[in-house]
Amino acid sequence: MKTDHIVNISRRRFIAGSAVSIAGLTLGIIPNVGAEQREAGPGIAGQAPETAGDFSPNAFLRIDGDGIVTVISKHLEMGQGTYTGLATLVAEELEADWEMVRVEGAPADAVRYNNLFWGKAQGTGGSTAIANSWEQMRRAGAAARQMLIQAAAKQWQVAAGEITVKSGVLSHAPSGRQAGFGELAALAAQQPVPETVELKDPKAFTLIGQRIPRKDSLEKINGQAIFTQDVKLPGMLTAVVLHPPRLGATVSKIDPKGAMAVKGVREVIEIPSGVAVVADDFWQAKLGRDALSVTWDESKAFAKSSEQILDDYRQLAQKPGLAARTEGSAATAMASADDTIEAEYSVPFLSHSAMEPMNCVVRIDKERCEVWNGEQMQTSDQHQIAGLLGLEPHQVHINMLYAGGSFGRRANPAADYLLETVHIAKALKPGTPLKMVWTREDDTHGGYYRPIYLHRMRAALNDQGGPHVWEQRIVGQSILKGTPFESVMVKDGVDMTSVEGAANLPYEIENLQVDLHSPELPVPVLWWRSVGSTHTAFAVESFIDELAVKAGQDPLVYRRKLLRNHPRHLGVLNLAAEKAGWGEPMGRNRGQGIAVHESFNSYVAQVAEVSVRRNVISVDRVVIAVDCGVAINPDVIEAQMEGGMGFGLSAALYSELTFREGRIEQSNFQDYRVLRIDQMPEVEVHIVASAEPPTGVGEPATPVIAPAVANAVYAATGKRLRQLPLRLG
Amino acid sequence: MLCPLAINGWQYHEEVDVLNLSINGKRHALDLDPQTPLLWAIRDQVGLTGTKYSCGIAQCGSCTVYLDGAPVRACITPVSDAVGKEVTTIEGLATPAGQAVQAAWRELEVVQCGYCQSGQIMSAASLLQRNRKPTDADIDQAMQGNLCRCATYARIRRAIKVAADKLAGGAS
């Protein structure tokens, strides 16, 4: 574990007489990094460091004179309960009154607010928010508590050891003295920062493990929460962009007359990604775009269809790819096997389709750019914007707002929609705030999709029916190639995100080969909630079911045997099966299916019950078991299991983005179908009790549902569906 | 050219396009094309941002508001349709059903990203206004036009029942 250095920055706050008006205690934990890493560079915001160990007035926590505890979240709240979780960690060790805790989004800073799992980069993704903050946030809270105690000891002239803290109140029992955090904040700020902090015994936790209320609920039910779409600044203009009809098409002629004739339209601006119409408000900009005439040169445009892409992939899958995992010799074992089983699985392109379509607000002034965004990858975006504007990264100030869903879309290394906004704003009078808004159709056509993947699976069984050889060949675009992540996460040509969930197959099989082809296509692709597992779990967990059927064994029993040495997989598998009543007769046209998968170091098993009538698949009930280490907030975990599964169910049953001659055939929710309430199953969540460090919950439920449902459909109908979305007939 | 239009009994001329709206009990005079969707009048002109844009074609329900108490999708409702009627947005939802729904939403922690929730709450409160004891089937039918990508649906169902109990006097 890296050692951090806790710095009291409130003293400098006083000295500098900064804008914060209420005297109080502010603590920052400064990652213990060398001086060279503090030089201005990608993602280092704010003013230059003054003295070693004290960077700028910033922190994870602030206590104001009125006793309000503000936790500064380095992570985005996009629905997963991150603000609540981080605040819980701080408040637990601080012994704060939960009612008095507020959360604020941190500015972009690669050194102060980096994701500890990502090195010098700030960002939220890979279900890491809680996992990487687990110790960091508790230590921030514990240090503040110790300083409050020191302050009270000084003020009351008593021994620090006699002071207790509970629910935001410090007490000295022998003298009967009491004081709230607010009363002691200013004095606490003058105390030396403890060299070491002591964290609570988990047995003493009062907030961790409890169903405490979310911090973002109230403002999201009364309409007060501010998303990027809601930002309004004085003099702000709104832009809508006309994008090329196909990838690779370019502008050959623009006739702006029609657009300019629309009331409120100010400018028509050609930018690299299309033609922007800028107006006083959204509707005017949209009408302007409707009236805009652009002739496109489509001679070099993408012209493939999804079927062609899959055909190409099928050909590729005949040949070995780059090895992602090799155990024994699959080729030899396969060649000598009497009877092999082979199956092909495939998944389509998918759009993230968050409820809030992509949008961004920027204001460019001389030597400064301010951004308002539901910001999933702060320092990467900061670097990209700075590069475009010729600024230093610290001159790009990012306001992190709530995101109306993201599912990975707002974490784009290419910073596509942000740069689009900056390109437009650059053409306006300096200092003009600009909101760029994608319509739903723009969002559906906006690229950065979950790629199409094809899996060719082969196996052969031994005398006991277990697989002695397993071969999985994966074909699909690399998400990371050409991004800054390539150097770290593409190893020997194998993109880890293409093979996660397959290369780490937990089933014990003597001869195992997982390999990968990463063909290139001009379609921009990106991570989509649970990334590689979105397709690997479907292929692996369906195919293992096929093997169980072939062996004439119960799919649960079959998995158990192959997972003997994987207790956490077994734990969730058995719990889900037990709670679901696995094996009970289901009646005509009904079936149960089971699947288990590890992603982001969390383990999830699901049992789905389906009914099939007139070739329509209804998922009636889903029982989920999860092992995510220490359960910080069981209610938030349950919500993520329910919602993550529901998100996966959209892709299992309905969502599909198809290309026809280079054009995307879907545009909005009428044809890019997603789960509706009448299609939502009953859902039960069971959490495995654990003392392991907490792991992610935002993504791990998503990939498990498609195979669970496909397996249930097989149980109900005898038909094996190997393509998503699942369709009968 | 002077072109008189009769919309909901109000007389307009294209050259005089000030529209008088009443939103959450407050009057607003808007200088707008009468065909502008009510959603953008509420958001961009009046500045109430609780009502959300997501699909623009009445496929998702995020923009649900009431006209004289009846739910409409503001993204496809011309602002002229709201003239002479009372517009209620999430910011002005004060009916007993609305309050019961909001309380139940908190109690069950329905929200995740929250972007669709104004629309969900408006639809749910409207359902309870019409039907004080909705079944699962009633809920599915009334709420299937409101999308939630976070899939908070299971909690929405439960919360509507909790809200129904609250309205019935707290018996559960």
The predicted pLDDT at position A5 comes to: 52
Q: Nearest by CB to A639, from B37, B109, B144: name it.
A: B109
Q: pLDDT tens, B37-61?
A: 999 999 999 999 999 999 999 999 9
Give A703→chain B minimum CA distance, Å: 15
Closest to A644 (Cα-Cα) out of A572, A588, A595, A696: A696
Domain ranges in chain A? Answer: 4-220, 230-299+358-437, 328-349+449-717
A230-299+358-437 placed in CATH 3.30.365.10: yes
What confidence category does residue A650 fall into, taking pLDDT thresholds of 50, 70 and 90? very high
Domains and CATH numbers, chain B: 4-89 (3.10.20.30), 96-167 (1.10.150.120)
Which residue matches tokens 């805009």? Answer: A292
**Contact assessment for residue A720 and residue A538, using Cβ atoms and an 8 Å cutoff:** no
For the cut 90, the answer to whether the pLDDT of residue A3 exceeds it is: no
Tokens for A719? 């038909």
A641 in contact with chain B, both atoms CB, cutoff 8 A: no
Question: For the residues of A231-271, what is the DSSP string, one character each?
Answer: ---TT-EEEEEEPPSSTT-EEEEEE-HHHHTSTTEEEEEEE
Instruction: Give domain A4-220's CATH number out of 3.30.830.10, 3.30.365.10, 3.40.50.740, 3.30.70.1450.
Output: 3.30.365.10
Whether this model's pTM surpasses 0.90: yes
Nearest-angstrom CA–CA distance, A657 and B162: 38
For the cut 90, the answer to whether the pLDDT of residue B135 exceeds it is: yes
Q: How many CB pairs under 8 A join A and B?
A: 174
Determine whether the interchain pair B144/A646 forms a contact, defined as Cβ–Cβ distance below 8 Å.
Answer: no
Within this chain, domains A230-299+358-437 and A328-349+449-717 share the same CATH topology: yes
What CATH number labels A328-349+449-717?
3.30.365.10
Nearest-angstrom CA–CA distance, A705 and A563: 20
The predicted pLDDT at position A112 comes to: 85
ipTM comes to 0.92
Q: pLDDT tens, A141-173?
A: 998 999 999 999 999 999 999 999 999 999 999
What confidence category does residue A6 fall into, taking pLDDT thresholds of 50, 70 and 90? low
The predicted pLDDT at position B3 comes to: 40
Determine whether the interchain pair B150/A282 forms a contact, defined as Cβ–Cβ distance below 8 Å.
Answer: no
B88 in contact with chain A, both atoms CB, cutoff 8 A: no
Q: pLDDT tens, A49-103?
A: 333 222 222 368 888 888 999 999 999 999 999 999 999 999 999 999 999 999 9
What mean pLDDT, rounded, does chain A reach? 91
**Contact assessment for residue B144 and residue B74, using Cβ atoms and an 8 Å cutoff:** no
A702 HSE (CA, 13 A, CB side): 31
The predicted pLDDT at position A12 comes to: 38
The predicted pLDDT at position A24 comes to: 54
A650-689 residues touching B, CB cutoff 8 A = 650, 668-670, 674-678, 680, 682-683
A290 vs A484, more confident: A290
